[in-house]
Amino acid sequence: MSSCCTPDGSCGTGTTTVAVADSTATAYRVSGMSCGHCRTAITASVGALPGVLSVDVDVDGGLVTVTTAGDPDDAAIGAAIDDAGYELTGRA
């Protein structure tokens, strides 16, 4: 029988956690969002960018908050939002 416990008695799940010391959350105003599909499309497009750690889309508020490792690349984020079919109108 195998166990996930390590010799020191702690549980080892085989997953690795990476800590990012310098992360930046930046909110953007985005027009044209109206539903869950909008949330999914923007999350996928922006989330695929290098350095993006997370994407939070507030459809009702018209905001997209992007957390990046270090400073955000506004041009790349704007292009990803545009590619998803929406318009970045500026930082919130």
What is the pTM assigned to this prediction?
A: 0.77
Q: Which residue has the higher pLDDT, 19 or 76?
A: 76
What are the pLDDT digits (tens) for 19-38? 556 899 999 999 999 999 99
Task: Collapse the DSSP code of 34 into the 3-class scheme (helix H, G, I; strand E, B; otherwise coil) and give the result.
Answer: coil
* Residue 48: per-residue pLDDT: 97
Percentage of the chain beyond pLDDT 70 is 77
Give dist(CA 74, CA 89) in Å, integer.
Answer: 11
E strands in 3-73 = 23-31, 52-58, 63-69
